[in-house]
Chain A
Amino acid sequence: MSFSIVEAPTRSAGVLDILGPKWRSFRARLRRERSGAGARTILLILLGAGFWTAVFGVSYRVLKYFKGVEEIGPLLAGKLLAVGLLSFVAILLLSNLVTALSTFFLAKDLDMLVAAPVDWIWFYLAKLAETLAHSSWMVVLMVVPILTAYGVVFGGGPLFPLVALATLLPFFLLPTVIGSVITLVLVNVFPARRARDLLSLVALSVMAGLVLFLRLAQPEQLARPEGYRNLLEFIASLRAPSHPLLPSEWAASALMNWLLRVRDPLPLLLLWSTAAAFIVVGASLHRRLYMPGFTKSQEGANTAAGRAAWHRAVRLLLGWLPVTRREFVLKDLKVFFRDATQWSQLILLAVLLIVYVFNIKALPLYTGERVPYVLVTLVVFLNQGLGGFVLSAIAARFIFPSVSLEGRQLWLLRSSPLDLRAMLWSKYWVGTLPLLALALGIGVITNRMLHAPPFMMLLSTITTVCYTLAVGALALGLGVLFPQFETENAAQIPTSFGGLVFMMAAVSLLTLIIVIEAVPIAEQLRIWQAGGQPGSSPSLLLAMGAVFLVCALATVLPLRSGLRRLAALEA
């Protein structure tokens, strides 16, 4: 080891030197996870294999069907690929916007890298590569089974993976460069913290708009070609989102050219030359704007928070609570509504609900003919399951992360005389009460839309109350058992391993409830078919008792384990 002050560095650090620590950290994390939790790894492998098989299976069947359609089969396959890649471009662009802000302006290694004698171009390329990897891995996981299906169905041969790689690399690079340039400009205009809020909001709003647009466009009509006047109109409707200047179109053409043995290198040339040009433009902008932007990102936003009227109103409303619980609830509400990464998820929630209600409304049930009682009862029963799944997804977004978000402040909670039950109580009711109101609201609205019979309405309402109370407890309990204290973004917590375990537990509970209730409902339907009047019966009351018991256990047990784990947690 030498500390000589006269020795000068022989070369500037390159891309690999800058990315080396990240790569080694990633490998170390993988090794730790592999050695630490065998069951977790097996579960993840099984889930991953199941997901890939499902995506491959669906893609294979669709493409096989398309291939069999004379004349327009390959056209349909090509268009499907272009539409798929276009939606990936939208996702990649949004993901890159948010990721670039972290990698270029908020990452912990930036102070060290900016202070080090690193050439700006290597710094830019390294950070671009990091942004590319972080923002694109999920899309890559999705693309692999789809393109495998294309390769298998259209006989892509052993070189097809190389062609796919050569096509997808510039395809993924383009949104990364565009995303980082937009972020660079935004950070030069707003302080980084405000820019992060803005980007989260923009990203979520666009995502929500996209989901809403796709749903309200009623894609199910494509499955009913009889609704179109002629074949040309059908093909025209398929062509709608594509454009010859879109990179997704080039990528789809490059891949389809290989699969259909068409010798046309133009799409690939367009992709590579555009990506190279964008990198050059991105690099020159980075050279001019990065340092002013980085300096600005150190500044805080204007963060004055006045004593708003709603704070006083809520404080008055909670006046009956003991002071510790009241202050905890108030703190949770303030933190939620001031953190854009948290409250902006309400936009997604609103879209999810609109799509859900729209789906129920779009069911071809009441189209003039008399609908059989059996069908209505079955649809209402299935609606209960679907509603339960929506509630689980909402609980995963809002209740599951609540304890993880205390992460860095755990020292305060643990060193104070706070009764941990008060903390769990606050988290449980702050999350579960709005969920219950929402569950009852959508339950009643959708059941009315479905003209549910009275006994189904009652059964559905009671089940919804029991299930919501249980799913809130499950989310909170598993959130304590699988905490994510280090994360800075609340939106990432539900997608963690613990979030996955919660969703599986919630769906299992829902399935159990449906199985328990299916028996008396089938009995009621038999009574109706025999000419009797459906109503209360011993088996129905027994089933309700069983559902109540299961939900009570699913409420109490996770909260108890959560409390025990919370008491043992070390900050």
Chain B
Amino acid sequence: MIELNNLTKRYGRFTAVDGINLTIPAGELYGMLGPNGAGKTTTMRMIAGILQPTAGSIRIAGIDLRTDPIGAKSRLGFIPDRPFVYDKLTGAEFLRFVAGLYGQGGVVIDRRIDELLELFELLPWRDELTESYSHGMRQKLIISSALLHRPEVIVVDEPMIGLDPKSARLLKDLLRQFVNRGGTVLMSTHTLEIAEAMCDRIAIVQGGKIVAAGTMDELRVQTSTGDASLEELFLKLTGGLSEWELSELFDR
């Protein structure tokens, strides 16, 4: 599970994340939505231990990230939005290196690396340097690296960018199975259809704060939008240009 308590991140006078409180129990897939610059990626990077919070605390699988970072990170798999990997390592070497970071190695890991590469159809490129991989292939390699050490919690930032429809479907199924087996997933996405179809609960973030959170039904009640879709609900909460305003823009 993931617990965020009064999580805050400030850059000088600018507050990127403003006192977020959130609990995601085991066996739940939680979506985080929000316009660009709302603070989603900052929140995710703090949970992954890449950024240090200005205030507040983070617990992963019951372990405080500040007091026991190694214990907390061992239980976490992080998939960033930008797939930066070592260009001069092959796909298999990269995964072996990541396994090493989690203290794992040997024949068992070699077998798991091949399984994951096969699952994501990267086996033919196993011994190719990643500098020749496409964006989507790198993304699949990073997803494989996050699953390699069998985490309890997965934090995934914009998972579908660069993935072909088949891989996107595979990832959706993987995350769902992971959650059904007791795992926890926190996912940020701009693809509202995916969020609506996949997430058990959703938080909408704006200006570094959660402005609404809950199941789809709970969100509709909170925003008094009847049977509105997630898109309508999102636009109502975060603001957006109407059709009339757009046509004005083109006519001017």
Residues of A bordering B, CB below 8 Å:
1-5, 193, 300-301, 303-307, 322-324, 326-328, 330-331, 334-335, 338-339, 408-419, 568, 570-571
Contacts and interface: CB of A to CB of B under 8 A. Distances in A.
A164 B16 CA distance: 53
A335 B88 contact: yes
Given A305-B127, A305-B128, A331-B89, A418 B48 contact: no
B49 A415 contact: yes
Q: Closest 9 A-B residue pairs measured CB to CB?
A: A327-B100, A300-B132, A303-B129, A408-B84, A415-B48, A416-B101, A338-B88, A417-B73, A323-B105
Nearest to A306: B127
A306 B252 CA distance: 60
B46 to A, nearest CB: 10
Nearest to B73: A417
B86 A409 contact: yes
Contacts of B45: 411, 571
Given A416-B101, A419-B70, A411 B96 contact: no
B86 A571 contact: no
Contacts of B85: 409, 412
Contact of A2 (B74, B99, B252): B252
Given A411-B80, A412-B101, A571-B50, A335 B128 contact: no
B131 interface: yes
A304 B93 CA distance: 12
Contacts of A417: 69-71, 73-74, 101-103
B84 A327 contact: no
Interface in B11-61: 45, 48-52
B51 A570 contact: yes
B50 A415 contact: yes
B88 A416 contact: no
Interface residues of B, number: 40
B155 to A, nearest CB: 8
B84 to A, nearest CB: 4
Interface string B95-128: 0111111111100000000000000000000011
15 contacts: A2-B252, A3-B252, A4-B250, A193-B131, A305-B90, A305-B127, A326-B100, A331-B97, A335-B88, A411-B50, A412-B145, A414-B48, A415-B78, A418-B101, A571-B50
B81 to A, nearest CB: 10
Contact of A328 (B78, B100, B104): B100
A327 B101 contact: yes
B129 A305 contact: yes
Scoring B93, B100, B103 by chain A CB atoms within 10 A of each residue's CB, the highest score goes to B100
Contacts, number: 109
B76 interface: yes
Contacts of A411: 45, 48, 50, 78, 80, 84
Nearest to A322: B103
A524 to B, nearest CB: 51
Nearest to A335: B88
B197 interface: no
Interface string B62-94: 000000011101101010100011101110010
B83 to A, nearest CB: 10
A5 B52 CA distance: 46
Contacts of B74: 417
A435 to B, nearest CB: 22
Contacts of A413: 101
A105 B237 CA distance: 44
B128 A304 contact: yes
A328 B105 CA distance: 12
Interface of B: 45, 48-52, 69-71, 73-74, 76, 78, 80, 84-86, 88-90, 93, 96-105, 127-129, 131-132, 145, 249-250, 252
Nearest to B77: A415
Contacts of A330: 97
B102 A416 contact: yes
A335 B71 contact: no
Scoring A335, A414, A416, A570 by chain B CB atoms within 10 A of each residue's CB, the highest score goes to A416
A338 B84 contact: no
Nearest to A326: B100
Given A412-B84, A417-B71, 19 more contacts: A3-B250, A303-B131, A305-B127, A305-B128, A324-B103, A326-B100, A327-B99, A328-B97, A328-B100, A330-B97, A331-B93, A338-B129, A409-B86, A410-B50, A411-B84, A412-B101, A415-B78, A415-B80, A416-B101
Nearest to A340: B88
B39 to A, nearest CB: 15
Contact of B250 (A5, A301, A338, A571): A5
A414 B50 contact: yes
Contacts of A5: 250
Contacts of A4: 250, 252
Contacts of B97: 327-328, 330-331
A301 B128 CA distance: 10
Contacts of B98: 412, 416
B69 A339 contact: no
Contacts of B76: 415
Nearest to B109: A323
Contacts of A568: 52
A419 B71 CA distance: 11
Contact of B104 (A323, A335, A408, A412): A323
Scoring A326, A330, A412 by chain B CB atoms within 10 A of each residue's CB, the highest score goes to A412
Contacts of B103: 322-324, 417
Contacts of B84: 408-409, 411-412
B244 to A, nearest CB: 15
Contacts of B96: 327
A570 B50 contact: yes
A530 B101 CA distance: 63
Contacts of B49: 414-415
Scoring B52, B78, B102, B129 by chain A CB atoms within 10 A of each residue's CB, the highest score goes to B129
A568 B69 CA distance: 13
A571 B52 CA distance: 10
Contacts of A303: 128-129, 131-132
Contacts of B70: 417, 419
A300 B89 CA distance: 15
Contacts of B86: 331, 335, 409
A160 B52 CA distance: 57
A327 B105 contact: yes
A335 to B, nearest CB: 5
A306 to B, nearest CB: 6
Scoring A3, A193, A305 by chain B CB atoms within 10 A of each residue's CB, the highest score goes to A305
Given A409-B86, A415-B76, A570-B50, A334 B93 contact: yes
Contacts of B78: 411, 415
A224 to B, nearest CB: 49
B52 A324 contact: no
Nearest to A329: B100
Contacts of B73: 415-417
A3 B249 CA distance: 6
